[in-house]
């Protein structure tokens, strides 16, 4: 079980995230590519930081919406999505290469991520960008109770799939993340977070918000580096799961 | 002697340039990368068009200034220049690769081009982006009467240099292009343009605005695809120089 | 019956629309405000052109999406919509005032216009921007077979409503514009366009795509200044409707 | 003697500055207008906060450079500067008006401020935006040992001038602020800062970096709300100068 984190989300004079503090504990860095956050200088700095810590490099492409931090859905044509994912992935991949690194996967950000999970045409748009890449790339996407459609789509494009789950979010019986607007949607207790992380890592069922048991496939857990509390949670998960290989 | 042209300068709903009409006559396409013109969809379309015509792919990176079309000088730190050139080159290079093409050179655009020609720190900023690229890239830059400094800078970074001259612009005795604000700066007569192109191609001296003779090294001529007149000039130059190899 | 036209849609080095050619024939200029098109210099130039021709000044605010020309729907919170409409309206209003003009109405652009017509919360977001304006502004919106809801919403905010219809678009029995994807959606024949314009102006029914009769309230007709054909259509409508008052 | 502060410099998801903490101590809020910082929602929120505290509203327009926070000089034509200042001032003025407030002055930001202080054409570009404004606006600019040229330029345009000085920056004998690159350029000691503030307020000479005495005209002191230290300095200056009127 790996730990992945959204990173490199500063922009120009604005700082966001405690990248230096979370980097030692994670395996995979989802690096912003300039459309929702990140700028060329920040991207290079972030690639260097990740490489110093032996963290895998991933692209975190988004809708072109700095003002909305890529969190506002935009009605783009799938061909536009393919092109803008290729653009952002290429920019980061080249900066990584110029530092001696290799970009290995892509995790769409924010509204693009959500839209991709519920709209097959948008998923196709993303996958076409990955399958046309001159070097191999995996897709990181959200696990649910039934990943067959997602697996099939990736298989059609010959794209390896990395399934991510959340240790700090409640799931419902159908295997979907509970909306933040609902009470109990976000786990606050470190014990609960660590327990859910360990169960996911060991292939054991987790408890849903309804109290039932749920089995979820997962290759990686999404963690957060926003503040001291989330860094503490990442550290606790890391210790519970054991050292990075 | 090659012909190069700035291309792919449309943006979203705005069209600029007669790319389809000029592409059959040129050897090298300087493709906009999204910072002064071009967007991901336009970039892919432009790469495809260039490849259909067997035209070499070049990146045309610029200052981040859509509103000013990259023509307004910006006081950027050389490290910012390195990072933004890497970003733009990477985005285009990846899109080219996803279409089966290879990006072979970089020609900075507008104010960045001019600033690079007169400021060594900015030239260094550009060259560092090229020398750190994971795949080889040449630099296209302006020829003058004395290219020794420019050659030396490129040699230090092990970057091949492509020298470009202009068939439709008057030169002064020092080998610099005459400012557009001065009468006679731009050749309007097709005969004059073709004669200057042929002389440059054959290594013969051209006539300066002062009436003296000037020898200029040149590997490529910059031509324009803005309108019917400029397309006619390109066609005339192409016919005079002979077919593309 | 007035004629309104989207105008000032150039951006930086890119030109769009034949503003000088269409301005003599219209009554109301919907001026782009920088978010989908238009830039500060273009906006001032457009205000001057409109004022020279005695054309009313309207703001044409949009989603923040230059790349998509404001045609791509964005999932914005109504408060974000209020703020961005106020911002754009204010920028144009001030530029108009600095030229001695007065901004009199607002017509949202593209996807924002469409979203406002089918989503009451977005309409509320727009109306709150207008009702909080320190100077009075009308809303220009699309007429349908039943404008009661729209009228009620405007009345609640004490905002005068200007209803616009299209002379060159087919309507269906419900009074909605036929989607461009359907054959016959756009009238090409000048005769049909002029007849629909005259009927709308005289309060006579127009023929729907199904062949039935439809009565539409309308204060203004949306015309286009994109190319020579559309300018010819505007001129024909103008001549049929009679001179501007 | 007033206190002014750059404020509203957050953008979208990025927070900058401790606006709530500094607002109670200042008289004039220089509010970012969206080109280097600030977005429509942030601008409205900032206007409300300033009005709650009875703080005067000023516009803080900048070059169009979010990535560089408006700190990178851009080679703009004076007409472009007039238009972009009008645009930004108008956007903020309208938002202020929609909250029942009135924009009273303009202080250009960052590189635009510096360029205006040393280039008369750029100053003219700014002043033309202010003098063409439909409502009266003052200019806030930097005091030096000799303000005659600046006063004359403002007088020609009938624009009231607000001279600002810095309590925490060292001045040289010529009355210019000492560059940050030089040791001793920034006062760290609260005592020194408060003493310089009081001397400026009482019309007494301050000590230059060379140890000589300097008389500076000043109507307002520029203070900072970036962090706890700068807030403490503002509070100390406020206490020393006496309560706001």
- State pLDDT tens for residues C21-34: 999 999 999 999 99
Pairing assessment for the beta strands B56-60 and B28-32 based on DSSP bridges: parallel
Residue C22 per-residue DSSP state:
H
Residue D130 to residue D34: CA distance in whole angstroms: 18
From residue B214, alpha-carbon distances to A41, A92, A111, B177, C112 in Å are 42, 44, 59, 12, 59
C-beta pairs of B181-186 under 8 Å, 24+ apart in sequence: B182/B209, B184/B209, B185/B209
For residue range D140-151, list pLDDT tens digits in order.
Answer: 999 999 999 999
Question: Nearest CA of chain A to the CA of B9: how many Å?
Answer: 16
Q: What is the mean pLDDT of residues D86-111?
A: 98
Distance CA A49, CA A23 (A): 8
Residue from the list C39, C67, C69 with its beta carbon closest to the beta carbon of B67:
C39
CA pair distance C66, B231, nearest whole angstrom: 29
pLDDT value, residue A245: 59
Q: Which tokens is C8 given?
A: 């000032």
| Percent of chain C with pLDDT strictly greater than 90 | 94
pLDDT tens, residue by residue, C68-95:
999 999 999 999 999 999 999 999 999 9
Pick left, alpha or beta for residue B242 (phi over 0 → left; psi -120 to 50 → alpha; otherwise beta).
left
The answer to whether the predicted template modeling score (pTM) of the entire model surpasses 0.90 is yes
- Calculate how close chain A gets to B205, using CA atoms only, in Å: 41
Q: Which residue of C has its CA nearest to B39?
A: C67
Q: Cβ contacts (< 8 Å) between A72 and chain C: which residues?
A: 74-76
Q: Which residue of D has its CA nearest to A14?
A: D14
D31 Cβ neighbours under 8 A, 6+ residues apart: D7, D8, D38, D43, D46, D47, D50, D57, D58, D59, D60, D92
Cβ-Cβ contacts under 8 Å, B227 against chain C: none
Q: Are B244 and B53 in contact (CB under 8 A)?
A: no
Query: How high is the mean pLDDT in each 10-residue block of chain B (245 residues)?
Result: 97 97 97 98 98 98 97 97 98 98 98 96 98 97 96 98 96 90 90 94 94 95 94 94 74
Instruction: With cut-offs at 50, 70 and 90, classify the pLDDT of residue A107.
Output: very high
Question: Would you call C12 and B39 a contact, using CB atoms and an 8 Å cutoff?
Answer: no
Q: Does the pLDDT value for residue C245 go beyond 70?
A: no
Q: Inter-chain contact B66–C12, Cβ cutoff 8 Å?
A: yes
How far apart CA B221 and CA B234 sit, in angstroms, is: 10
- Look at residue C54 and tell me whether its pLDDT is greater than 90: yes
Reported as a single tens digit per residue, the pLDDT across D36-89 is 999 999 999 999 999 999 999 999 999 999 999 999 999 999 999 999 999 999
pLDDT for the residue B153: 98
pLDDT score recorded for residue A15: 96
Percent of the residues in chain D that have a pLDDT greater than 90, as a whole number:
94
Q: Are strands D138-142 and D103-106 parallel, antiparallel or unpaired?
A: parallel
Distances (CA, A) of B29 to B2, B20, B179: 11, 12, 25
> Which value does ipTM take for this structure?
0.95
Cα of D17 to nearest chain C Cα, Å? 21
Q: D158 to chain C, minimum CA–CA distance in Å?
A: 15
> Domain limits at A142?
2-241
Nearest to B201, CA basis, from B237, B147, B236, B169: B237
Over chain D, what is the mean pLDDT? 96
Q: Is D104 helix (H, G, I), strand (E, B) or coil?
A: strand
The confidence band for C149, taking pLDDT boundaries of 50, 70 and 90, is very high
Which residues of B are less than 8 Å from D72 in CB distance?
74-76
Total count of domains within chain C: 1
Count CB neighbours of D210 within 10 A.
Answer: 12
Q: A126, A79 in Cβ contact below 8 A? A: no
Question: How is residue C28 written in tokens?
Answer: 């109301």
What is residue A100's DSSP assignment? T
Which of C70, C158, C58, C184 shows the shortest CA–CA distance to C116? C70
For residue A131, the chain B residue with the least C-alpha distance is B98
pLDDT band at residue C174 under the 50/70/90 scheme: confident
Q: Using CB atoms, which residue from B10, B39, B68 is nearest to C12?
A: B68
CATH number of the CATH domain containing A225: 3.20.20.370
């Amino acid at each position: 079980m790996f730990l992945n984190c959204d990173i490199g989300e500063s922009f120009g004079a604005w700082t966001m995230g405690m990248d230096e503090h979370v980097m030692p504990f994670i395996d995979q860095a989802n690096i912003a590519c300039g459309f929702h956050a990140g700028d060329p200088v920040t991207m290079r700095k972030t690639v260097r930081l990740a490489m110093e810590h032996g963290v895998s490099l991933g692209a975190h492409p988004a809708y072109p919406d700095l003002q909305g931090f890529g969190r506002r859905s935009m009605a783009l044509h799938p061909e536009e999505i393919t092109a803008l994912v290729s653009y952002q992935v290429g920019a980061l991949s080249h900066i990584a290469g110029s530092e001696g690194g290799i970009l290995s996967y892509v995790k769409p950000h924010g509204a693009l991520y959500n839209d991709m999970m519920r709209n097959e045409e948008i998923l196709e748009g993303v996958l076409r960008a990955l399958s046309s890449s001159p070097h191999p790339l995996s897709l990181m996407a959200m696990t649910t109770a039934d990943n067959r459609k997602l697996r099939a789509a990736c298989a059609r494009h010959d794209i390896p799939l990395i399934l991510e789950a959340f240790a700090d979010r409640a799931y419902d019986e159908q295997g979907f993340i509970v909306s933040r607007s609902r009470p109990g949607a976000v786990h606050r207790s470190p014990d609960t977070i660590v327990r859910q992380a360990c169960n996911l890592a060991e292939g054991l069922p987790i408890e849903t918000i309804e109290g039932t048991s749920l089995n979820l496939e997962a290759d990686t857990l999404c963690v957060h580096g926003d503040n001291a509390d989330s860094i503490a949670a990442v550290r606790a998960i890391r210790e519970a799961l054991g050292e990075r290989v």
